[in-house]
C-alpha cells in the first residue's frame, strides 16, 4: 500500500468517525431541546415516579392489594391506612400503588398494538400510494367516524370482559391516528431531495424504504407513541369504569373509581385518590409528549 | 372555475357515500365479530330453542352474511332498525324517546367548549409568550389529563352531595344540566383552544394584518374585523373533526350523571347485549359524524375558495 493510499484510508476513517459523532450529537441536540422545555422535564420526573412505583409496589406497602378485612371497611384515612380502606376493607393506597402496574401494562400494550398496525399501514399507504393508499385511507375515514371510546366499548362488550379484549378493541379502533400521521410524513419525505437523489442513482425500492424513509419516520413514530399514551390510559380506565374493561377484584384505577362511586358520601377517598393517580400519570405523559414533539418533530400537530 | 367547483363537490360527496357504506358495514358486522351463534350472543345461553329460532327468523340469521346485511340495511332505509331484545319494542321508538336529552346535553356542551376554546385561543395568541398564554396552554393540558367520568364524579360529590346546589344525577330541570355540560365542555374546550391559538398567530403574521395595522386601524378592530374572521374559518373543520370525541365524552358523562339519553342507553344496551339497539345507535352516531364532516367541508369551500384550488 502506497503512502497516498494510506493517507486516503486515514481520511476515510476520520470521516466515518466524524459522521458517527455527528449522529450522536444530533441525539444530544434533541436532549438539549427537550431539556429546555421545563414542563417536559417535570413530566419526565412524574413518569419516572410512576415507573418506580410500578417496579417496587410490593416494597412500598406492607399490605396486600387483594386481602379483604371485613372489620375495617370504608375506614377514613389514618396513620395505618394513609388513604383509608375501601368497601371490602382493602388498603386504598396499596391498591393505587399496584394499580400503576395494570395501568402501565395496558397503556403500553394498547399503544404497541395500535402503533404497530397504524405505523405499518401508514408506511404502506404512503409509500405505495394508488389503490392501497385509497383503501387504507377510506378505512381510516370509516373508523374515524365512530367515537373511539364508543366503538371500543361495543367491541370489548361483545368479546367479553378482560384485559386482553380491551387491548384488542382499542387496537382495532385506535390505529387510524398513527396511520394518518406516518403517511403524511412519508409523503413529505418522498418529495425530498435525498430520496430523489437515491432514486436517480438507481437504489432499489426496498433499500430506499429501509435506508431513507424508515429512519426519517422514526421521530414521528416516537412522538406519536408518547402523544397517544395518555389517550390509551384514559380510554382503558373509561372502559373499566363502564364495566367492559378490567374486572374486579383487579387493582385497577378505573374500576376503583367506579366502585368508589357507590360510597361517595361515606368514603370519597376511594374515587378521588384513584382519579388523582390517573391524572398524575396522564399529565406526566402529556408533558413528555409535548416536549418530545417540539424537540423531535415540530411538524406534528397535536392529535 | 365552476367546473372545478362542481368536481370538488362531486368528489367529496362520492367519498362521503363510500364512508357511509363502510360505516354501515362496521355497525352491521359488530354482532358477527366473535365466532359463535349470534342468536345465542343476543339471548344468552339459557333461552328456549323456540326463542332462538324466532330471533334467527326475525333477523334472517340463517341467510348468508351479505344477504343479512341487505335485509338489515333495507330495513334501516324503511325506518325499521329492529326490535330491542330487552324492551321488546322497536329500536326507533326507544331512540326517539332518548334523543332529546342527549341533544340538549351535547348542544350545551358544544356551546361551552366552542366559546370558551375560541376565547382562550384568541387571548393566548394576542398575549403570546406571557403568563396568560402559558396559563391557557397549561389549562388545556390539564383538562385533557382528567378522565371525564372522574371529573363528573368530583362535580357530583362537591356540588351535589356536599353543597347540595344541584340534584345528584337524573334530569330534573335546568340545574341538572349544568354540571354534565360543564364536564364535557371544559375538557373539549382544550381541543379548540390550541388550534385556535395557532390559527390566530398565523393570521396575525399575514401581510394584510400588517397593512391594516399600518393604516392606523384600532387594535381591537384589527383583531375582530380582520384577524378573527379569517382565523375562525378553519375552526369549522376542526369542530367537525372533534365531533366524535365530544360524542364519546358525552356518552361516559351521561352514565355518571344518570342522564336518560342515548349515551347511557347505549352503555346499558352493550352490557345487556341488546345488539339491535347497539347497532342502531352506532350507525346513528357515525352517520351524524359523516354528515357533519361533509357539511363542514362544503361550508369551508364556500367560505374559503382557496381550498378548492389546492385539492
Please give the mean pLDDT across all residues of chain B.
Answer: 87
**Residue B311 confidence class, pLDDT cut points 50, 70, 90:** very low
CB contact (8 A) between residue B255 and residue A242: yes
**Average pLDDT in the A198-221 region?**
87
Measured CA to CA in angstroms, residue A73 lies from A76, A93, A248, A270 at distances of: 9, 14, 17, 12
> Residue A12 burial (CB < 10 Å; 0-12/13-18/19+)?
exposed
Percentage of chain A lying above the pLDDT 70 cut: 95
- Domains of chain A by residue range: 37-296
Residues of A in contact with B41 (CB under 8 A): 158
Residue A300 has pLDDT above 80, yes or no: no
Please tell me the predicted confidence (pLDDT) of residue B266.
94
Interface probe with A: pick from B16, B150, B284, most Cβ of A within 10 Å: B150
- The residue that leads in pLDDT, B220 or A252, is A252
Residues 5-44 of A with CB under 8 A from B: 39
Measured CA angle at B175 (ends B169, B178), to 5 deg: 80
Please tell me the predicted confidence (pLDDT) of residue A24.
64
> Is the ipTM above a cut-off of 0.85?
yes
Q: Residue written as cell 330453542?
A: B49
**Average pLDDT in the A59-68 region?**
88
**Residue A238 confidence class, pLDDT cut points 50, 70, 90:** very high
Interatomic CA distance for residues A35 and A25, integer angstroms? 15
Please tell me the predicted confidence (pLDDT) of residue A154.
92
User: To the nearest whole angstrom, how far is the Cα of A12 from the nearest Cα of chain B?
Assistant: 46
**B142, B194, B255 member nearest A302 (Cβ):** B194
Residues of B in contact with A238 (CB under 8 A): 147-149, 252
Residue A109 has pLDDT above 90, yes or no: yes
Q: Identify the CATH number of the domain defined by range B107-274.
A: 1.10.3720.10
Residues 71-110 of B with CB under 8 A from A: none
**A142, A154, A243 member nearest B22 (Cβ):** A142
CB contact (8 A) between residue B153 and residue A264: yes
- The residue that leads in pLDDT, A13 or A48, is A48
**A257, A264, A301 member nearest B161 (Cβ):** A264
**Residue A212 confidence class, pLDDT cut points 50, 70, 90:** confident
- The residue that leads in pLDDT, B105 or B209, is B105
User: To the nearest whole angstrom, how far is the Cα of A74 from the nearest Cα of chain B?
Assistant: 17
CB contact (8 A) between residue A154 and residue B278: yes
Ranges A81-85, A108-112, B218-222, most confident = A108-112
Range with the lowest mean pLDDT among B18-22, B160-164, B279-283? B160-164
Interatomic CA distance for residues B201 and A198, integer angstroms? 38
DSSP-assigned beta bridge partners for residue B90: B83
pTM: 0.87
User: To the nearest whole angstrom, how far is the Cα of A41 from the nearest Cα of chain B?
Assistant: 15
Residue B173 has pLDDT above 70, yes or no: yes
Residue B273 belongs to what H/E stretch? none
CB contact (8 A) between residue A241 and residue B267: no
Interatomic CA distance for residues B63 and B76, integer angstroms? 18
**Residue A115 confidence class, pLDDT cut points 50, 70, 90:** very high
Please tell me the predicted confidence (pLDDT) of residue A299.
61
Please tell me the predicted confidence (pLDDT) of residue A161.
79
Closest A-chain CA to B287:
A145
Please give the mean pLDDT across all residues of chain A.
Answer: 88
The answer to whether A266 and A80 have CB atoms below 8 angstroms apart is no
CATH class belonging to A37-296: mainly alpha
Residue B196 has pLDDT above 50, yes or no: yes
SS (H, E, C) chain A: CCHHHHHHHHHHHHHHHHHHHHHHHHHHHHHHHHHHCHHHHHHHHHHHHHHHHHHHHHHHCCCCCCCCCHHHCCCCCCCCCCCCECCCCCEHHHHHHHHHHHHHHHHHHHHHHHHHHHHHHHHHHHHHCHHHHHHHHHHHHHHHCCCHHHHHHHHHHHHCCCHHHHHHHHHHHHCHHHHHHHHHHHHHHHCCHHHHHHHHCCCCHHHHHHHHHHHHHHHHHHHHHHHHHHHHHHHHHHHHHHCCCCCCCCCCHHHHHHHHHHHCCCCHHHHHHHHHHHHHHHHHHHHHHHHHHHHHCCCCCCC
Residue A172 has pLDDT above 50, yes or no: yes
CB contact (8 A) between residue B157 and residue A138: no
Please tell me the predicted confidence (pLDDT) of residue A302.
46
**Residues found in chain B:** 311
Residues of A in contact with B249 (CB under 8 A): 149
Interatomic CA distance for residues B121 and B231, integer angstroms? 10
CB contact (8 A) between residue A242 and residue B147: no
Amino acid at each position: 500500500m502506497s503512502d497516498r493510499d494510506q493517507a486516503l484510508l486515514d481520511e476515510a476513517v476520520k470521516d466515518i468517525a466524524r459522521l458517527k459523532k455527528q449522529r450522536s450529537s444530533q441525539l444530544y441536540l434533541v436532549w438539549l431541546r427537550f431539556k429546555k422545555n421545563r414542563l417536559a422535564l417535570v413530566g419526565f420526573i412524574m413518569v419516572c415516579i410512576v415507573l418506580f412505583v410500578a417496579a417496587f409496589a410490593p416494597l412500598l406497602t406492607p399490605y396486600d392489594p387483594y386481602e379483604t378485612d371485613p372489620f375495617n371497611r370504608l375506614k377514613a384515612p389514618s396513620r395505618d391506612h394513609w388513604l383509608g380502606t375501601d368497601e371490602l376493607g382493602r388498603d386504598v393506597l396499596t391498591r393505587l400503588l399496584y394499580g400503576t402496574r395494570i395501568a402501565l401494562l395496558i397503556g403500553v400494550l394498547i399503544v404497541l398494538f395500535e402503533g404497530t398496525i397504524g405505523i405499518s399501514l401508514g408506511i404502506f399507504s404512503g409509500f405505495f400510494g394508488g389503490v392501497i393508499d385509497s383503501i387504507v385511507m377510506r378505512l381510516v375515514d370509516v373508523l374515524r367516524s365512530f367515537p373511539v371510546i364508543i366503538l371500543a366499548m361495543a367491541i370489548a362488550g361483545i368479546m367479553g370482559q378482560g384485559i386482553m379484549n380491551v387491548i384488542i378493541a382499542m387496537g382495532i379502533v385506535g390505529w387510524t391516528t398513527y396511520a394518518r400521521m406516518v403517511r403524511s410524513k412519508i409523503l413529505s419525505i418522498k418529495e425530498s431531495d435525498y430520496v430523489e437523489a437515491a432514486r436517480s442513482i438507481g437504489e432499489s425500492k426496498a433499500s430506499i424504504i429501509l435506508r431513507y424513509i424508515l429512519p426519517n419516520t422514526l421521530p414521528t413514530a416516537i412522538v406519536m407513541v408518547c402523544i397517544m399514551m395518555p389517550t390509551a390510559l384514559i380510554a382503558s380506565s373509561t372502559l373499566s369504569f363502564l364495566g367492559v374493561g378490567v374486572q374486579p377484584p383487579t387493582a385497577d384505577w378505573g374500576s376503583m373509581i367506579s366502585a368508589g362511586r357507590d360510597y361517595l358520601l361515606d368514603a370519597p377517598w376511594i374515587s378521588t385518590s384513584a382519579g388523582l393517580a390517573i391524572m398524575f400519570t396522564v399529565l406526566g405523559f402529556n408533558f413528555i409528549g409535548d416536549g418530545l414533539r417540539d424537540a423531535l418533530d415540530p411538524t406534528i400537530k397535536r392529535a | 372555475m365552476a367546473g372545478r367547483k362542481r368536481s370538488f363537490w362531486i368528489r367529496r360527496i362520492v367519498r362521503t357515500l363510500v364512508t357511509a357504506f363502510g360505516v354501515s358495514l362496521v355497525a352491521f358486522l359488530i354482532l358477527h365479530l366473535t365466532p359463535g351463534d349470534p342468536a345465542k350472543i343476543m339471548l344468552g345461553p339459557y333461552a328456549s330453542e323456540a326463542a332462538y329460532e324466532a330471533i334467527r327468523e326475525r333477523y334472517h340469521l340463517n341467510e348468508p352474511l351479505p344477504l343479512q346485511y341487505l335485509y338489515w340495511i333495507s330495513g334501516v332505509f324503511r325506518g325499521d332498525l329492529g326490535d330491542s331484545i330487552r324492551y321488546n319494542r322497536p329500536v326507533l321508538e326507544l331512540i326517539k324517546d332518548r334523543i332529546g336529552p342527549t341533544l340538549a346535553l351535547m348542544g350545551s356542551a358544544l356551546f361551552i367548549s366552542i366559546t370558551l376554546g375560541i376565547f382562550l385561543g384568541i387571548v393566548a395568541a394576542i398575549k403570546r409568550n406571557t403568563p396568560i398564554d402559558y396559563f391557557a396552554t397549561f389549562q388545556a393540558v390539564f383538562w385533557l389529563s382528567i378522565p371525564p367520568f372522574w371529573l363528573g364524579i368530583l362535580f357530583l360529590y362537591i356540588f351535589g352531595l356536599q353543597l347540595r346546589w344541584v340534584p345528584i344525577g337524573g334530569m330534573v330541570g335546568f340545574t341538572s344540566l349544568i354540571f354534565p355540560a360543564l364536564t364535557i365542555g371544559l375538557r373539549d374546550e382544550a381541543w379548540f383552544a390550541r388550534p385556535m391559538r395557532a390559527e390566530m398567530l398565523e393570521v396575525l403574521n399575514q401581510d394584510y394584518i400588517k397593512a391594516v395595522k399600518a393604516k392606523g386601524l384600532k387594535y381591537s378592530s384589527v383583531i375582530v374585523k380582520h384577524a378573527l374572521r379569517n382565523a375562525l374559518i378553519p375552526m369549522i373543520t376542526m369542530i367537525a373533526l372533534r365531533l366524535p370525541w365530544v360524542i364519546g365524552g358525552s356518552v361516559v358523562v351521561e352514565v355518571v350523571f344518570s342522564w336518560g339519553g342515548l349515551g347511557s342507553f347505549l352503555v346499558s344496551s352493550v352490557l345487556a347485549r341488546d345488539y339491535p339497539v347497539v347497532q342502531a345507535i352506532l350507525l346513528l352516531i357515525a352517520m351524524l359524524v359523516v354528515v357533519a364532516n361533509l357539511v363542514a367541508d362544503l361550508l369551508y369551500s364556500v367560505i374559503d375558495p382557496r381550498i378548492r384550488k389546492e385539492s
